[in-house]
Structure 1
Amino acid sequence: MAIVSAKALTKNYGFLRAVDAIDFEILKGEVFGFLGPNGAGKTTVMRIIYCFIPQSSGDMSVFGVDVTRDPSSIKARIGVMPQEDNLDPELNAAENLIVYARYFDIPRRDALRSASELLEFVELQGKAKTKIGALSGGMKRRLILARALINNPELLVLDEPTTGLDPHSRHAVWDKLTQLKEKDTTLVLTTHYMEEAAKLCDRVAIMDGGKIVTIDSPSALMQLHGGSLEYVYLKLTGKDLVVPS
């Protein structure tokens, strides 16, 4: 069953075509990754999926609902982990989750319970009353993941979930995403880390110039092209792999 379906999906910014008539489906329970160089259109696709921006043409549905017709019902069932750290610095870790729960009309008692459970899930239970400025980069990313889960989403959208993290913190986030995968949560992510894509993703779409070059499992792509996923990426896009610092 397809959770997300796109047909001839196109997004223009003035004369710039950021996404160029792409087709894809994301199946229930799978981890689907978008790979590609900067400017390939990955983040634009993600923003259309979670109803942040409209497409220019083509069709996009999430949970069988057209994103342009009933975005509110879609947003209620989605969790979003953006690339930027946009936590509220005036609040502590627990308060960031509790306040965010208001956007989903979650009763305060339920929000308090969920915040406690999610802080434990991301191993930040000892930081509940800690202000954001005192958290490390890895802790902030895990807290943003917890915030994205506050409404118990059926689909989790992750834009560069481990960008800028040290290897230990990156693996800590991978561990949590793997646990969500085992619970049959559908995940869609963008990443510049080929190891991350190979470890987490059931299938990947490699994008370049707003188009999808190929869609397949990492193992199938590596077998077909006779090399690592990074080798496949370089071969199909012709661009060097730029990993954000």
Structure 2
Amino acid sequence: MNTPLAFPAGPDADTVVTVRGLTKSYDGRRVVDALDLDVHAGEVVGLIGANGAGKTTTVEILQGLRRADSGSVSVLGLDPVHDADRLRPQIGSQLQSSGLPDRLRVHEAIRLFAGPAATDADALLEQFGLAHRRRYPFAGMSGGERQRLFLVLALLNRPRLVILDELTQGLDPAARREVWTAVTTLRDIGTTVLLVTHELDECEALCDRVVAMRDGTVLDQGTPAELVARHAGTATICFSLPAGDETTVAAVLQEVNRLPGVQGVTRKDGRILIRGERRAIAHVGGWLVGRDEPVPADLSVEVPDLEDALLTLLEQTDLPTIGAAS
């Protein structure tokens, strides 16, 4: 691949998006409720939450596609509504409804979307693995190729912010991985990315920070690992030990319970059940390997993930909402 293209940071580069007290209602139902949100330059930020959390409405307001009822919104130092003409060339987007005419060829789409300050389209096509598809019609492209084309079009005019809404929805695993690689390329060239997704493994793989939303407000935010640590519970390690007298078994339980990160050890139906922090997995594994016994054949480990964290957050009805996700 060619050397990645560099995109300019421009003035006021530290904060790309600032939202305070954003509110939006439809037919009397509030879908965004006093939302505070910050996105900093060079970040890949994921917005997650159940359907109806207000994620898509929020990013549409950021692009000036919808008007807020109240609150303040600054994107690259501009008002998305009143400064739309100045802001639009600085934002690239791929929304849920993105599509192109079936017969439109890749090079024709490039020509259609390119603005006066467009970057080298050939270099972008090469960078995203589409140089050999220049004369392909949209209908003849695979799902992964189409999504990478949308990324090329989103980057064509050298935006400082790229907004991606359900980027990999409906794609097969191979196509998803292709698109993930493309988003990683965006991060590598310094582009700020706001990613709306239900695919939480996608967030764990791509995002520097995740903002969990419910009913139009921010519940919590942080790195994927931080949200997992705060809300997803403990890791679980299970295995059987050879039969022994109760004194030997009790000594084993006490020994395991003293390992770093272990929060509790129980015995059930002849199996040892250990709960603890993620680091406990390494320490228990080291302890098992260091014993004068074979490693148990039924050893199993369950590690909490971002999905567990989000489900816990959504179930906590009395959880106080967080202010600015900075």
TM score, norm. by length of structure 1: 0.90
- 1:217 aligns to what? 223
Deviations 1:167-216 (A, max 9, x none): 11111111111111022110001011111101111111111112211111
Deviations 1:47-91 (A, max 9, x none): 111111111100000111122321211111110011234113231
- Cα separation, 1, equivalents of 2:136 and 2:106: 6
Mapped pair 1:6 → 2:30:
no
Assess if the C-alpha contact under 8 Å between 1:5 and 1:62 holds in 2: yes
- Cα separation, 1, equivalents of 2:122 and 2:82: 35
Assess if the C-alpha contact under 8 Å between 1:94 and 1:116 holds in 2: no
- 1:243 aligns to what? none
Does the residue aligned with 2:156 lie in a helix, a strand or coil? coil
- Cα separation, 2, equivalents of 1:89 and 1:117: 24
- 2:91 aligns to what? 78
- 2:307 aligns to what? 230
Gaps of 5+ in 2: 1-13, 234-303, 317-326
Instruction: From 103, 116, 121, give the equivalent of 1:105.
Output: 116
- 2:193 aligns to what? 187
- 1:147 aligns to what? 153
Assess if the C-alpha contact under 8 Å between 1:8 and 1:59 holds in 2: yes
- Cα separation, 1, equivalents of 2:57 and 2:315: 21
State percent identity of aligned pairs.
38
- Cα separation, 2, equivalents of 1:119 and 1:63: 27
- Cα separation, 2, equivalents of 1:39 and 1:224: 24
- Cα separation, 2, equivalents of 1:8 and 1:198: 28
- Cα separation, 1, equivalents of 2:22 and 2:28: 16
Q: Give the alignment of 1:1-245 within 5 angstroms.
A: 1-101=14-114, 104-106=115-117, 114-225=120-231, 226=233, 227-238=304-315
- Cα separation, 1, equivalents of 2:201 and 2:40: 22
TM score, norm. by length of structure 2: 0.68
- Cα separation, 1, equivalents of 2:177 and 2:220: 27
Does the residue aligned with 1:66 lie in a helix, a strand or coil? coil
Give the counterpart letter for 2:102 in structure 1.
Answer: P
Give the counterpart letter for 2:116 in structure 1.
Answer: D
> Runs ≥4 in structure 1, deviation > 6 angstroms?
none
Give the counterpart letter for 1:213 in structure 2.
Answer: L
Assess if the C-alpha contact under 8 Å between 1:94 and 1:119 holds in 2: no
**Highest relative contact order (Cα 8 Å, sep 6+), 1 or 2?**
1
**Residue 122 (structure 1) shift:** 1.6
Question: Which one is further off, 230-239 or 166-175?
Answer: 230-239
**Residue 124 (structure 1) shift:** 1.3
Structure with the higher helix share, 1 or 2: 1
- Cα separation, 2, equivalents of 1:67 and 1:81: 17
- Cα separation, 1, equivalents of 2:151 and 2:95: 9
Does the residue aligned with 1:76 lie in a helix, a strand or coil? helix
- Cα separation, 2, equivalents of 1:78 and 1:204: 20
Larger Rg: 2
Give the counterpart letter for 2:112 in structure 1.
Answer: V
Does the residue aligned with 2:120 lie in a helix, a strand or coil? helix
Gaps of 5+ in 1: 240-245
Assess if the C-alpha contact under 8 Å between 1:10 and 1:19 holds in 2: yes
Does the residue aligned with 1:179 lie in a helix, a strand or coil? helix
